Structure 1
Amino acid sequence: GLSVIISCIDPKLPLSFCIKLWLFLFSLSLLLVAQMASAIYFHIGEKEKKCFIEDIPAEMMLTGKYKTMVFNKDSNSFKVSPPELGMHIDIMDSQSKVVLSKTYGSEGMFYFTSHIAGDHEICMHSNSSQWFGGRRMRVYFDLQMGEHAADEAVTAEKGQLAELEQRITQLLEQIKIVEKNQNYQRVREEVFRKTSSGINSNVLWWSIAQCLVLLCSGMFQMKHLKGFFIKKKLV
């Protein structure tokens, strides 16, 4: 509330300025969080595997949260999964190296850090022991970038930071994430530009080679026809 704003900002500043600053930081943080988060849900069978491809910059920490529910035929709706029905998470980087492989409960959270940039494959499947069939499952999945996603709940519980200070900390973290993504996109654009330049160069040389072949073929045909006409005494 207002007491939080006043306690976190110099008392000499006008209250209206403090309120506008707080609203600006809050709105900007919500915008950045919305850009960094990717919350979805999907349906799978107990023996099925679901995989996602996520393009991640290097040295980026990601936090995944999930919650599973199973379909109940009696109520014709999804119910909370039993504790023994867990989820196994497999994560591989762009070089097919295992980043994470671990079994969690029916609801949980996992963390991992990307050591190299590129596409990372995130796969999830249940630890069900059924051989055939199985129940239909609904999985809520949320993947967030940045360290604040991992310790946000802990910080809120301990009350180590005031509300505005926590918002500013999260905002700075999100700015770092945006900066990393921008740098990664610049690298990808540079690679794409070099690849395009190489392809254009190859196309140019191929066109020149085709012209030379056509020119040589035309000269050969003209010489052959000239010899034919001379032999037949047509010229």
Structure 2
Amino acid sequence: MLDLSLDLVLMLIAAAFAAGFVDSIAGGGGLITVPALMLAGLPPAQALATNKVQGVFGAGAAALSYARRGLVDLRAQTVPALIAFGAAICGALMVSWIPTQVLRYGLPVLLIGIALFFALKPGLNDMDRIRRVSPAVFAATVVPLVGFYDGLLGPGAGAFYMLGFVMLAGYGILKATAHTKLLNFASNLGGLLAFALVGQPLWLLGAAMAVAQIAGAMLGARLAMRIGARIIKPLLVVTSTALALRLIWQLLAST
């Protein structure tokens, strides 16, 4: 582990708690933890790998919290989760083969579009709507595509899962969030396996942050289940917009 001071470790643990809270509701927890890890002195690849360590536990804790309330049938979602897991590994292994810079230019536009959809689309609430595709088709198309992207790049994967569940599966906001967390957990785990080989994560630091991430995720999931779409929608809009702006800033800074 880097020679991190106690103050820095405590800052990272606090960042992990906040990230777990936000991520369990609307995704985008990496907006908090990845910059915090890089500010602490970790190189980008190691920061991303360490972030995956603690992020897996946060997504898993949120998914379990939703499942305990009956919002996710874990047995029925086993196959989609395995597909997301495998697709994320494939995406991570293809990083050196696919021109990811081209994808980065389109991401901010997609994320702003998602933010506008959830902000302006009338009637988006916790009630289920008409399903446009069958669960089998959803698992064979949306899940591997987003899972592959999560392993390849990652930013905004939760928002893409959410959009698919709402627009195609017909889920209400709260149910879509619950299922998103399960698939996020699966694809994060697949990405972690690949990152562990090349990114050299700081396992001890990641474990310490994971404890805080779990606590934040459980608190956030509890709040989301109590309030539902009234908190999920605005937070999703804010995190998607913030992520889009951060990606734009990174693109401008690299030119």
Would the TM-score normalized by the shorter structure come out above 0.5?
A: no
- Report the structure, 1 or 2, having the larger strand content: 1
Relative contact order, higher structure (CA 8 A, sep 6+): 2
TM-score range, shorter chain: under 0.3
Q: Structure 1-normalised TM-score?
A: 0.26
